[in-house]
Structure 1
Amino acid sequence: MLKIENLSKRFGGLAAVNEVSTSIEKGKINAIIGPNGAGKTTFFNLISGVHKPTSGRITLDGVDVTHLRTDEVAKLGVSRTFQTTALFDNASVLDNLIVGHRLRTKSGLWDVLVGSSRLKNEEKVCREKARDALDFVGLSHMANRMAGDISQEERKRVAFALALSTDPKVVLLDEPAGGVNPDETVGLADLIRKMVKHGLTVGLIEHKMNMIMSLADKIMVLNYGEKIAEGTPAEIRANPAVIDAYLGSEHADA
């Protein structure tokens, strides 16, 4: 689905991502792991259009998206979450999600000024999509709560829902279990499996190795911006370079 060829990003003299080639495979959970500073988030930023690559090529279903803007990439079906969940804390959870589906609407300033039927119809659709996304992540009962009043785990679920409200094909999750407890981590892992079961493709950055090893179909390992390994969880656990650079001996053959 997403093909990445010789992708590089330099910030001055620093190669944050260096000649990385891989693919985000359709209908699978594609994990990216590595030490802090390995280039994982920069890699997601390149795929989603936040940064433009120094060199290399990114294609989505055969379409070159290398130099597209973030909103253009999103309209083609790539959505993402971030390490820190930024919400409009003084707005309701539902209103936060209505913003997400605005990506798919066509109303402009004139529609707002005249209160056009197109605007009204699109607002209805946005609200329905937001409610569907909330239901999917198990937070229907939170629709009218202020976003600033919900827990960290609930904020993570709202971030999932916000990504889903854009009608994506690929969802990039950047440390979705960061800052939540083990029981909550299990619940978020189940939600990720549910996303794939419903036809989505997932790219996943996460430091919680038990979660990654039980979830991922494929794992790519970055270190100092370079791909040092790629394979199934079993292959990654047994890879000496990965053990040395990141996992440590306690994960070997676990």
Structure 2
Amino acid sequence: MLEIHRLTKRFGGLAAVREVSTTIEPGSIHAIIGPNGAGKTTLFNLISGALRPTSGRIVYEGRDVAGLRADQMAALGVARTFQTTALFDRATVLDNLIVGHRLRTRSGLWDALLRTRRLREEEKRCRHQAEQALDFVGLSHAAHRMAGDLSQEERKRVAFALALATQPKLVLLDEPAGGVNPEETAGLAALIRKMRDSGLTVCLIEHKMDMIMRLADKIVVLNYGEKIAEGRPTEIRRHPQVIEAYLGRDDTHGIQEVADAAA
């Protein structure tokens, strides 16, 4: 579904992402891990169109999309969430999701002023899509609550639903389990599997290694902007460069103990 070829992003003399290549297969869960400052979110920003690459190629469904804007990437079917979930806190959950589906509508100012048939039909479709997304993430009961009243875990689920409301094919999740407890983390992991099982392709950044080792089909490890390892969880948890990057020494106890516990 997605091919990344020697992707580089420089900010002045700093290479935040350097010559990274990988592929994301359709219907898979692909994880990107690495220490803080490794370039993970920058890579997401490049894929989603928030940043333009300095060099390299991003091929999505056979089309070179490097340099397209975020709205253009979203229109092609690439959705993303962020580490901090930004919502319209004084609007209902359902209204937040209806805004998300506006990506797929075509009515404009004159339709709104004249209340045209196209506008009315699109509003109906937006509402239906928003309700479906809420049902998928298990928050139908919260549709008419104010977004500002949600718990952190509920806000994470609304972020998933916002991505789903755009009718994506590829979903990029940036630390989807950040700030939630272990029980809530397990619930969000189950929701990610449900997304994969429904036909979506998922790529996520996450620091919770036990979650990643249970969830991912393939893992890419970044350090100082470079890819240092790629493979299945069983391969990554014993990779010496990964252990060195996380622990700063040749010790197999930290990351491997967490990964073995998840196995």
TM-score, normalised relative to structure 2: 0.95
Letter in 2 for 1:217: D
Shift of 1:236: 0.2
1:103 & 1:172 partners in 2: Cα distance? 17
Aligned equivalent of 2:44? 44
Aligned equivalent of 2:208? 208
Shift of 1:48: 0.2
1:127 & 1:42 partners in 2: Cα distance? 33
Aligned equivalent of 2:105? 105
Please state if 1:141 is matched with 2:141: yes
Q: Percent identity?
A: 73
2:17 & 2:24 partners in 1: Cα distance? 16
Aligned equivalent of 1:85? 85
Counterpart contact for 2:90–2:147, Cα < 8 Å? yes
1:46-76 Cα deviation digits (max 9, x unpaired): 0000000000000111011101111110010
Q: Secondary structure at the match of 2:16?
A: strand
1:114 & 1:38 partners in 2: Cα distance? 51
Q: What does 1:9-88 correspond to in 2, within 5 Å?
A: 9-88=9-88
Letter in 2 for 1:142: A
1:117 & 1:63 partners in 2: Cα distance? 35
CA-based RMSD: 0.8
1:200-242 Cα deviation digits (max 9, x unpaired): 0000100000000000000000000000000000000010000
2:226 & 2:103 partners in 1: Cα distance? 33
1:110 & 1:64 partners in 2: Cα distance? 35
Deviating 4+ runs (over 6 angstroms) = none
Counterpart contact for 2:46–2:53, Cα < 8 Å? yes
1:251 to 246, 255, 258: 255
2:119 & 2:255 partners in 1: Cα distance? 54
Letter in 2 for 1:245: A
1:62-110 Cα deviation digits (max 9, x unpaired): 0111011111100100000000000000000000000111000000111
Consecutive unaligned residues of structure 1, counting only runs of 5 or more, are none
TM-score, normalised relative to structure 1: 0.99
2:101 & 2:255 partners in 1: Cα distance? 41
Shift of 1:24: 1.5
Letter in 1 for 2:128: E
Letter in 1 for 2:256: A
1:138-170 Cα deviation digits (max 9, x unpaired): 000000000000100000000000000000000
2:101 & 2:239 partners in 1: Cα distance? 42
Q: Secondary structure at the match of 2:185?
A: helix
Q: What does 1:98-247 correspond to in 2, within 5 Å?
A: 98-246=98-246
Shift of 1:42: 0.3
1:246 & 1:194 partners in 2: Cα distance? 30
Counterpart contact for 2:4–2:58, Cα < 8 Å? yes
Counterpart contact for 2:7–2:53, Cα < 8 Å? yes
Letter in 1 for 2:78: V
1:150 & 1:67 partners in 2: Cα distance? 36
Consecutive unaligned residues of structure 2, counting only runs of 5 or more, are none
Shift of 1:251: 2.4
